[in-house]
Each structure stands twice: as C-alpha cells, then as structure tokens.
Amino acid sequence: MAALQHLKRQIFGEDIFVSYSRSDGMDYALTVAAGLKGLVCYLDQLDTQPGEQIPHRVLRRLESSTVLVLLATPAAASSTAVAQEVKTFLKTSRPIIPVSVGGALENSDLWPLLKGAAISQVVPDESGTLTPTAQLLQRISSSFIYTRRAQWLRRIAIGTVVGVVGLLALAAVVSWRSIETAIAKADALVAEARETARTTVAAAEEEARRTRDRANYESFLRHEAEAKKGKR
C-alpha cells in the first residue's frame, strides 16, 4: 500500500495541500487531515522552520496538489507564507477551499484574492478547540474526486487526440511511402518503355538501312546488266 501511495504521489502529486499556520492551526490541520480518509494530505509541519520564505520543495508539492485547503486562522490570515501559497496555487486554476476561523479570512489581505469563493465558516468551541465538520470533510473529498476525475478525462482526451494525430501521421507516412513506391515503379516503367522504344527504333532504322542497301545493290546490278546488253 505504501508503495502504491508513493507511486501515486510521484505521478499525480499530493491529493490535498493544507495551508495553515503552525502557531495557532497545527492541531486543527492535523485533525482535518486525519478526517480525510483515503486521501494523501501534505502539511508542512516538520520539513521547514517557520519563516516568510517557502522552500522550493514545498512549492513543488503545492503546485502538484489537486486541492488546496486554506485554514485561515488569525495567524494564517496574516501570514506572508500562507499568502504566497494561495497566490501560487491560484495559478494552477485548481480548487481552493477556504476555511475562515472566526471570520479571520474576511478581515485579511487574503480576502480580495478569494472573494467570491465559497467560504466555510468555523468557530472554536468553548475550550477553543477547532473541530472539522462532516460537511467540510465531505466538501473537500467531493472537490478532490471531481477535480481528479476532470484531470483523468482531460488526460484521456489529450491522449486520444495525440493517438489520433499519431495514427494520421503514421498513415501519412505510409501513404507517402506508397506514393514514393508508386512513383519509383512508374519511373522504372517509363525508363523501360523508353529503352524498348529506343531499341525498337534502332532495329527499325537498321532494317530500313539494310533494305535501302539491298535496293541500291539490286539497282546497281540491273544497271550493270543493261550496260552489258548495250555493248553487245
């Protein structure tokens, strides 16, 4: 199973990239990831130290993910790194699921980037604990399934087009080779006809020359015979 998951990640990338702030959203991020059964989630919790710049390896995981889940806690909503993750993922045109914790997203600089998106609202309970709802987990799973299906269909469509183009190209090559073969055969037939015609003409000319020579010789003999008779 681990080998299959690794192979899937190499081909398709991560299923879900969870963008959050470790200062106030790690527990919630882990709970969300644990609730997404059967999906591979990436959380940058151990690979890098907190900071403003996102390592290239994390950006690569982000760009290859199918869905971005933004857990907009107050710290995440004001994080430059989280904003960079959102801006980077927006370029992929793949779905972003924003989760606004206590209205933090609407009051942040991220709001203009995501205005118009369907925002999931979450409020901590009395103990301050954040718990993902079944509706949120279902929304994330459904978005992933829909997007992955669309990716499969797009790949199938592209593969079909490439296959058809390849077959057409192969047919064109075969046809061109057939044409070249036909032209070569035609050239050979023309050359053979020309050689036959040349031989025939040469033979006819030779026969005509011999006939003319015989006629001249016979005419000479007649003249000789007449001359001898005149002398007598």
Q: What is the pLDDT of residue 230?
A: 67
Domain ranges of the chain: 2-132, 163-232
User: Considering only the top CATH level, what class is 2-132?
Assistant: alpha beta
Between the alpha carbon of residue 146 and those of residues 140, 150, 208, the distances in Å are 10, 6, 91
Looking at the predicted structure, is the pLDDT value of residue 47 above 60?
Answer: no
The predicted-structure confidence for 79-118, as pLDDT tens digits, reads as follows 999 999 999 999 999 999 999 999 999 989 999 999 788 9
* pTM beyond 0.85: no
Query: SS3 for the chain, per residue?
Result: CHHHHHHHHHHHCCCEEEECCHHHHHHHHHHHHHHCCCCCEEECCCCCCCCCCCCHHHHHHHHHCCEEEEEECHHHHCCHHHHHHHHHHHCCCCCEEEEEECCCCCCCCCHHHHCCCCCEEECCCCCCCCCCCHHHHHHHHHHHHHHHHHHHHHHHHHHHHHHHHHHHHHHHHHHHHHHHHHHHHHHHHHHHHHHHHHHHHHHHHHHHHHHHHHHHHHHHHHHHHHHHHHHC
- Look-up of token digits 């107050």: 74
Please indicate whether residue 20 or residue 182 has the higher confidence score (pLDDT): 20
Q: How confident is the model at residue 160 (pLDDT cuts 50, 70, 90)?
A: confident
Q: How confident is the model at residue 16 (pLDDT cuts 50, 70, 90)?
A: very high
Q: Kindly report, residue by residue over 166-214, the tens digit of the pLDDT.
A: 777 777 777 777 787 888 888 888 888 788 877 876 776 677 667 666 6
Give the span between the Cα atoms of 71 and 199, in whole angstroms. 94
The whole-number pLDDT of residue 176 equals 74
What's the chain's average pLDDT? 81
Angstrom distance (rounded) from CA 66 to CA 16: 6
Residue 5 has pLDDT above 60, yes or no: no
pLDDT of residue 83: 93
Q: What is the pLDDT of residue 14?
A: 82
